[in-house]
A = this chain, B = another copy of it.
């Protein structure tokens, strides 16, 4: 049996498949980036319409979103490619693909912890500014209390740091 004509395929997918512009708007990836991803082997399943333009069926769109999730969460392009080229739906590859994703999950969770910690650091600094402003104090307190104590305890250093109690 010959494959169904392109015309038939088109008839079926026209309504659901998207042009590159629409995908770009839908995903936030630039048109250039979509084309570049494809060249780089990150999007293997892009169809073409009769006149050679890209058509993205919904499956492709969802795949793009997965790729996007991987990229946004810091997976390097090379690793995404690895994941993608492992594709083709062969059962034998499923474990490795899964392993890659699980690894990425671990990365993400680690990243989330780091992010939380960094957020705490920034918030602490904000609190400090709030305090300084409230007290109308100019100086940064980059000097820790213990060093300040040390300095004021040392008569040779009297006057090094302004604003210390004599």
Chain A positions within 8 Å of B, measured between CB atoms, are 1, 3-4, 8-9, 12, 16, 45, 57-60, 62-63, 65-66, 68-70, 72-73, 87-91, 94-95, 97-98, 101-102, 104-105, 108-109, 111-112, 114-119, 121-123, 125-126, 129-130, 132-133, 136-140, 142-144, 147, 150-151, 154, 156-157, 159-160
Contact = CB atoms under 8 A, between A and B. Distances in A.
A66 B150 contact: no
Contacts of A138: 89-91
B142 A62 contact: yes
B91 A12 contact: no
A140 B89 contact: yes
A119 B115 contact: no
Contact of A89 (B12, B139, B154): B139
Contacts of A121: 65-66, 69
Given A144-B58, A147-B58, A154 B12 contact: yes
B133 A91 contact: yes
Contact of A129 (B4, B45, B98): B98
Contacts of A133: 91, 94-95, 98
B142 A122 contact: no
